[in-house]
Amino acid sequence: MKVPNERGYFGSFGGRFVPETLMYALEELEEEYQKVKEDPSFWQEFEYYLREFAGRPTPLYFAKNLTEYAGGAKIYIKREDLLHTGAHKINNTLGQALLAKRMGKNRIIAETGAGQHGVATATACALLGLECVVYMGEEDAQRQRLNVFRMKLLGAEVRVVKSGSRTLKDAINEALRDWVANVETTHYIIGSVVGPHPFPMMVRDFQSVIGKEAKGQILEKEGKLPKAVVACVGGGSNAMGIFYPFVEDEGVRLVGVEAGGLGLETGKHSASINAGQVGVLHGMKSFFLQDEEGQILTTHSISAGLDYPGVGPEHAYLFESGRAEYVYATDQEALEGFKLLSRLEGIIPALEPAHAVLKVVEIAGKLSKEDVVIFNLSGRGDKDMETVMKHLDGEV
């Protein structure tokens, strides 16, 4: 079944729950996107920038040492960390910025958590000559101050958000408020597979280049499909990007790893599928961390990029239909994975995909040596050095 339907629903999730002021802009965006979807010149331009500017295709690297360590299936790493700006986020921002340009919207706004999406948006805007404003929660701006500087260097204005929990959720609120006020001149580049229709679909489509490449590469290298594809999930754009081309390959397990923070029992985490309930926020119906009266809860994760109380509606759909499974890793497990990948493979991961490392090892360990597992390494760890130093100082 092809999702979403014409109303933007993935099964019972998704939709378009926004103030009326934004409805026309979303209709217009959807219409414009449907137009470019059929326009080869748009995709040629998009692919040109992905290749020449962002550095695609990224390698699918056979992680020999990690494979030996796990003692089972061969582990391949999809190296999104090697992309320009250091993460998969650039795939989406290039696509949306090109679309905005076609729509004649020369002002871009974005929200950012870890700062990766903000940097990727600022980069695409610099490249295409668009004005750029990035909203970032005060807490995130502090823990990711290098990215704040990078965005400014790229010509973006960074607006620090001091309302609510001062993290990604509040940055999205503030970006939505800006969009409501400036909708006629502005395009909102949402950074994940979240938000009102058509964003979850559109971001998935732009990010699915990850999975398309990985599928072609694994067939070329191994002549078979993987037993499992593993990725971290906050809002879920890197996971959706690598899962999507495998959804119809039923033998491929799709495993998303949420941020378990200090442990689900502490309430200090960001595992919305594992511990949330269905709700409506930021334009979509999906799983959210909330109390019994629908108030959204404060989240916690060691990684700013996963520190979000919701998840994209297509993940909710894949979870509910049983097609994908969602587990979680705690801050501590993420740090273990962070160290492990650095030592064994010489690859320092971002804290977000570091959440998935131990899970990959576990899954591979239970499979035979003939099998193959793919791990989406969505970004590199440079941005996280200060955070990790605080936690591992003396240990390293």
Partner 1 sequence: MEGVGEGRLGAKIEELKKEGAKALVSYLTVGYPTFEDSLEAFRVVLREGTDILEIGFPFSDPVADGPTIQKAHQVALENGTRAKDVFNLSRTLRQEFEGVPFLLMTYYNPIFRMGLERFVKLAKDNGVDGFIVPDLPPEECLDLKRVCEREGMSLVLLASPTSTEKRLRLICQHTDHLTYFVSLTGTTGERDVLPLERLKERLALYRSVCEKPVMVGFGISKGEQAKAVAELSDGVVVGSAFVKLCGERRSEGLREKVREIKESLLSLSPSRNL
| Binding positions for partner 1, rule: CB under 8 A | 7, 15-25, 163-164, 169-170, 173, 176-177, 180-184, 277-283, 285, 288, 290, 292-296
Kindly state the tokens that stand for 353: 């995909």
Q: Supply the minimum distance, in Å, between the C-beta of residue 297 and partner 1.
A: 8
Is residue 369 part of the annotated active site? The answer reads no
Distances (CA, A) of 231 to 129, 210, 252: 33, 12, 13
Euclidean distance between CA atoms 207 and 91, whole angstroms: 6
Kindly state the tokens that stand for 271: 């595992």
- Phi and psi dihedrals of 375, rounded to 5? -115, 125
Comparing CA positions, the residue from 118, 100, 123 lying closest to residue 53 is 123
Is residue 89 part of the annotated active site? The answer reads yes
Closer residue to partner 1 in complex, CB, 20/393:
20
Closer residue to partner 1 in complex, CB, 278/389:
278
Closer residue to partner 1 in complex, CB, 153/181:
181
Q: Supply the minimum distance, in Å, between the C-beta of residue 179 and partner 1.
A: 9
Is residue 111 part of the annotated active site? The answer reads yes
CA angle 21, 24, 29 (to 5 degrees): 125
Closer residue to partner 1 in complex, CB, 233/281:
281
Q: Supply the minimum distance, in Å, between the C-beta of residue 181 and partner 1.
A: 4
Closer residue to partner 1 in complex, CB, 179/206:
179
Kindly state the tokens that stand for 329: 């890793």
Stretch (H or E) spanning 9: strand 9-10
Q: Supply the minimum distance, in Å, between the C-beta of residue 275 and partner 1.
A: 15
Euclidean distance between CA atoms 296 and 294, whole angstroms: 6
Closer residue to partner 1 in complex, CB, 283/379:
283
Q: Identify the active-site residue in 74, 78, 89, 169.
A: 89
Comparing CA positions, the residue from 97, 123, 324 lying closest to residue 230 is 324
Q: Identify the active-site residue in 32, 80, 111, 213.
A: 111
At residue 135, the 3 state secondary structure works out as strand
Comparing CA positions, the residue from 226, 247, 177, 259 lying closest to residue 373 is 226
Query: Would the CA dihedral through 137, 289, 199, 193 be positive or negative?
Result: positive
CB 315, CB 325: distance < 8 Å: no
Q: Supply the minimum distance, in Å, between the C-beta of residue 192 and partner 1.
A: 16
Centre a 10 Å sphere on the Cβ of residue 236 and count the other Cβ atoms it contains.
Answer: 35
Label residue 308 left, alpha or beta by phi (over 0 means left) and psi (-120 to 50 means alpha).
Answer: beta
Residues assigned a catalytic role: 89, 111, 378
